[in-house]
Amino acid sequence: MMKILDRFFQKIEPLFRKDGKLEKLYPLFEATDSFLFGASGTTDTAPHVRDAIDFKRIMIIVIIALIPCTFMAMWNTGYQTNLALQSLNITSPSGWRGEIMSIIGCSPESFIANFVHGALYFLPIYLVVLVVGSIWEGLFNLIRGHEISEAFLVTSLLFTLTLPPTIPLWQAAVGISFGVVFAKEAFGGVGLNFMNPALVARAFIYFAYPAQMSGNEVWVAVDGFTSATPLAQISEAVSASQAMQNVDFTWAQAFIGTIPGSMGETSVLACLFGALLLLVTGIASWRIMTSMLIGGVISSLLFFFLADPANPFNGIPVHYHLVLGGFAFGLVFMATDPVSAAHTPQGQWMYGLLIGVLAILIRVANPAYPEGVMLAILLGNVFAPLFDYFVIQANVKRRKLRHG
């Protein structure tokens, strides 16, 4: 069947090439052909130079690395929702989801009930993000005559994983539209953006629609039910010494991911599975991951031992900082973005260290905004070219002195 389809594509390809009747639709033809049979072209500029690996394979590996987080996003969303329904003595939610779950049941002890219930929230959001973002990318590529890249499959999944399950679908569409248009296509498209489009999209809707992206009512998809994240619980403490007493989740629960939060960011364990694959395949930089971890640990230690005891966030131990919020998810998948991260080895160390320090600094020093990972990575994206510039200039000076 695939051979027949391949011969058909080869037969109609001249229609889409230059001077063909359907020349303007070549990006759509190429995207379909590349998705089904692989890309025939190669790249010769940063950031896509990779020995014997093509861009499509890179994107596929990243998507595979995100599967554990996607799995946990659906399971934990359903788990938190079913727990809330159980506490309220409600047998099933209202609406079309309730009709489906009335057949399966809403027991938090049921793996299938948790997974299916969570999927009923996750999948509609992801499909809206995927369709809307693809339309924008397709439109820009048709106008420019560029090939349609598989990169948006990663961007759309990353963005969805950073959202709460209660986000209105139209806001998800607005967010990804802003990220694709103003953080990517405005700079020329794939490989030319200097900031992570998924993070820009999330930052935009966070500040544009804070009521749907923060607070205690957005993390569990049950109307009127409130459930604070661990960081929100810590913010309600009166001092650093009482900070951890306010948290009703254990470190193990935060590590596994059975806590309220953004759908795909709660599980450090799932992020570690993804990190292992990205490091083994050489897709992500171990320098960025290591330096961000070091920066986060150093910043956490300084605040824990030296800062004002009246601030409850100063009472968070180092090992808790690393499993709360989106620190692990940002470290593995966002900070290591090959386009917006630093590219020189020394620049990657500085880049990761800056993000790690800033992530904890924003979390602790600004109690009104405890989730500082997103802003820290965006600031790191801004400084990444500067780090690379200084590293390159230093190398040039050393060579001049050596051969001068």
Distance CA 307, CA 310 (A): 9
For 19, the enclosing helix (H) or strand (E) is none
pLDDT reading at 139 higher than 70: yes
**Average of pLDDT values for 212-239?**
91
pLDDT of residue 136 exceeding 80, the answer is yes
Inter-residue contact 341 to 351 (CB < 8 Å): yes
Best CA proximity match to 39, nearest among 20, 58, 23: 58
- Yes or no: say if 109 and 153 are a contact pair by the CB < 8 Å rule: no
Distance from C-alpha of 151 to C-alpha of 339, rounded to nearest angstrom: 11
User: Quick one: how many helices (H) and strands (E) in the chain?
Assistant: 16, 0
Percentages helix, strand, coil for the chain, rounded to the nearest 5? 65, 0, 35
Taking only the tens place, the pLDDT of each residue in 166-203 is 999 999 999 999 999 999 999 888 888 899 999 999 99
Tens-digit pLDDT profile for residues 335-369? 999 899 999 999 999 999 999 999 999 999 987 77
Two structure tokens written together for 308: 């004002």
For the stretch 285-312, pLDDT in tens is: 999 999 999 999 999 999 999 878 889 9
Provide φ and ψ at 353, rounded to 5°.
Answer: -60, -45
- SS3 annotation, 243-264: CHHHCCCCHHHHHHCCCCCCCC
Q: Determine the Cα–Cα distance for residues 343 and 388; give it in Å rounded to an integer.
A: 7
Task: Give the pLDDT score at 308.
Answer: 84
Q: What interhelical angle do 111-144 and 151-161 show, nearest 10?
A: 140
Query: What is the rounded distance in angstroms from the CA atom of residue 190 to the CA atom of residue 338?
Result: 11
Report the pLDDT value the prediction gives residue 401, as an integer from 0 to 100. 83
Note the pLDDT of residue 50: 44
Residue 193 CA to residue 155 CA, distance in Å, equals 13
317, 258 Cβ separation under 8 angstroms: no
Please state the pTM of the whole predicted model.
Answer: 0.88
How many whole angstroms separate alpha carbon 297 and alpha carbon 302? 9
Q: What is the pLDDT of residue 84?
A: 95
Q: Which two tokens stand for residue 160?
A: 């969805």
* DSSP tag of 53: -
Q: Are 80 and 217 in contact (CB under 8 A)?
A: no
Q: Give residue 29's pLDDT.
A: 60
1 compared with 248, residue with greater pLDDT:
248
What are the residue boundaries of the structural domains of the chain, listed by start?
23-28+52-211, 240-403
Amino acid in position 3? K
Q: 93-121 pLDDT, tens per residue?
A: 889 999 999 999 999 999 999 999 999 99
Give per-residue pLDDT as tens, 23-66. Answer: 666 666 665 666 555 555 554 555 444 444 566 778 889 999 99
Report the pLDDT value the prediction gives residue 404, as an integer from 0 to 100: 60
